[in-house]
């Protein structure tokens, strides 16, 4: 696109533009529409001794010339109160299945229960550079499930992302519990972020004033689904191990992978690692039950270490004792072995344990939800409701 200086030079040499306006008073306003060399239309307006260049519509449009300055006036300048009122209106008219009951922000140093106020500064390095990490914890019957396990993971992610902590671990933990308490939510999820914080729009976080902590409580009454699903192999490149093992906000590959699955009538797309072994789904781990009744799960060396997946591996020991499983192994899994398995399942905090009945064109097992997957789902739901204190943190409402 031509620069303004080049446009000015072009206009000054256009024979259709008079170098000086005659026979007009000092206060007159004269406008001359012209064409540029780059497909854009420009105009000259002269008011007394002052000349102004205006950009008009592209010359490949058949519409009449329109002064772009008239379009700008359509955008209102809002006061702070007017902007807040519009935020409230947008929230009221765009309600979905999830409700946002409370948010903590270290920027304003407190908790709000007004969804319109649940905002993040646009100059936060997490917003415009993706320099942030996040994690979650389920809320079940007034308890936070695996809060400490998820909290440990976000602190590891923050260290890997070179994000300093705004507070120590114990204070962050206390803030998260207090946010859930203020929300009065007894079934839903807590999601929280650590970022380099607001400051400027530079690439380096050196201009950020201090790191930030955000947390939001989401109420979702949707029941966990045990219906079998279809998955495909993702064509979206998997993230390199350095980033795949960190739970950062850089989820564009994950989003594109999920969209690819939905566009092909599937629930999720499965990533393979650089050696062609099964890796993970866009936001869940993968596990299989072999014909020898082994529960196998890909190693966490190059993918995200799933808190829910690790808990499932622990709970699966009960199925070994009952004789429903022979062994539990964490190792490399080839695509062929995975597709030939008796059962396949996705495991994560969002889905818990979800049976897979078809991968690409291959039907898994007998094409029905597997008994081991359903047993593991029941075990983890029971663990969320009545598990030991190591995985259930009470919320003081």
Active site residues: 247
Per DSSP, 278 falls in state B
CA atoms within 13 A on the CB side of 361: 0
d(CA 105, CA 112): 8
Beta bridge pairs of residue 112 = 103
For residues 327, 275, 264, 247, the Cα torsion angle rounded to the nearest 10 degrees is 80
Give the separation between CA 73 and CA 93, rounded to whole angstroms: 26
Sheet holding 132-140, edge to edge: 110-112, 99-105, 212-219, 187-195, 132-140, 143-145, 392-394
For residue 290, CA distances in Å to 280, 295, 325, 342 come to: 18, 7, 10, 5
Please name the helix (run of DSSP H) or strand (run of DSSP E) that holds residue 57, with its range, or none: strand 50-58
In 3D space, the residue among 226, 183, 365 whose CA is nearest the CA of residue 288 turns out to be 365
Strand order in the sheet with 29-35: 29-35, 40-47, 50-58
Phi–psi pair at 338, nearest 5 degrees: -65, -45
Q: Could you tell me if 217 and 180 are in contact, meaning their C-beta atoms sit under 8 angstroms apart?
A: yes
- Indicate the helix (H) or strand (E) that contains 338: helix 335-339
Quote the longest CA-to-CA distance of the chain: 102
Element (H, E) at 33: strand 29-35
Q: Residue 42, Cβ neighbours under 10 Å: how many?
A: 24
Query: Would you tell me how many other CB atoms lie within 10 Å of the CB of residue 49?
Result: 8
Which residue bears the tokens 């303004």?
4
CA dist., res. 211 & res. 265, Å (int): 41
Q: How many CA atoms lie within 13 A of 351 on its CB side?
A: 24
């Amino acid at each position: 696109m031509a620069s303004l200086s080049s446009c000015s030079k072009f206009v000054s040499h256009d024979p259709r533009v008079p170098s000086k306006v005659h026979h007009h008073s000092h206060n007159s306003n004269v406008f001359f529409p012209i064409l540029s060399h780059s497909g854009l239309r420009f105009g000259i307006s002269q008011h007394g001794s002052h000349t102004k260049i205006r950009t008009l519509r592209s010359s490949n449009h058949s519409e009449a010339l329109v002064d772009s300055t008239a379009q700008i006036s359509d955008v209102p300048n809002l006061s702070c109160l007017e902007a807040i009122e519009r935020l409230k209106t947008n929230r009221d008219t765009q309600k979905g299945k999830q409700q946002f009951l409370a948010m903590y922000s270290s920027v304003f140093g407190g908790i709000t229960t007004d969804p319109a106020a649940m905002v993040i500064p646009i100059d936060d390095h997490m917003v415009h550079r993706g320099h942030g990490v996040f994690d979650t914890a389920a809320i079940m019957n007034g308890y936070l499930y695996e809060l400490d396990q998820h909290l440990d993971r976000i602190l590891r992610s923050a260290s890997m992302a070179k994000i300093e902590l705004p507070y120590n671990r114990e204070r962050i933990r206390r803030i998260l519990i207090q946010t859930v308490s203020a929300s009065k939510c007894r079934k839903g999820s807590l999601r929280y972020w650590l970022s380099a914080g607001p400051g400027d729009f530079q690439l380096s976080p050196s201009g950020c004033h201090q790191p930030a902590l955000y947390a939001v409580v989401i109420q979702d009454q949707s029941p966990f689904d045990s219906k079998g699903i279809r998955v495909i192999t993702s064509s979206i490149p998997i993230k390199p191990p350095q980033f795949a093992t960190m739970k950062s906000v850089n989820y564009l590959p994950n989003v594109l992978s999920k969209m690819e699955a939905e566009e092909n009538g599937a629930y999720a797309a499965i990533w393979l690692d650089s050696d062609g072994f099964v890796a993970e789904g866009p936001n869940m781990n993968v596990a299989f039950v072999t014909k020898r009744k082994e529960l196998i799960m890909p190693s966490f060396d190059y993918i995200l270490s799933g808190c829910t997946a690790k808990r499932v591996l622990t709970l699966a020991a009960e199925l070994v004792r009952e004789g429903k499983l022979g062994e539990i192994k964490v190792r490399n899994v080839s695509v062929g072995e995975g597709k030939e398995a008796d059962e396949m399942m996705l495991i994560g905090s969002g889905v818990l344990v979800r049976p897979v009945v078809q991968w690409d064109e291959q039907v898994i097992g007998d094409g029905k939800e597997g008994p081991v997957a359903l047993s593991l789902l029941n075990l983890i739901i029971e663990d969320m409701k009545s598990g030991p204190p190591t995985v259930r943190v009470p919320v003081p409402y």
